[in-house]
Amino acid sequence: MSYNVIITQTEDGWYVGQCEEVPEAISQAQTIEELSLNLLECITEALDIKRARTQELYAGKKHFLRKLELA
């Protein structure tokens, strides 16, 4: 899966990025390469937190999981 990120550059030269699909994933870095790595980590952490919260909602309830793949 790929993600779209919006990148801006501050007046002091830092790059700041935010993921469109996971808006909680925001980071900054001195290079675009470093920013990309930071954002991938932020996206992963944000999705892990969302997954854990959702699992808590269904804990103890009868349910099943089904995996869907995006093309």
Is the distance from CB of 36 to CB of 28 less than 8 angstroms? no
Q: What is the pTM of this model?
A: 0.85
Beta strand spans in the chain (E): 5-9, 15-19, 26-29
The sheet with strand 26-29 has its strands ordered as 5-9, 15-19, 26-29
Distances, alpha carbon 36 to alpha carbons 14, 63, 64, in Å: 13, 36, 34
pLDDT tens track, the chain, 71 positions: 899 999 999 999 999 999 999 999 999 999 999 999 999 999 999 999 999 999 999 999 999 999 999 87
Q: Which residues pair with 29 in a beta bridge?
A: 15
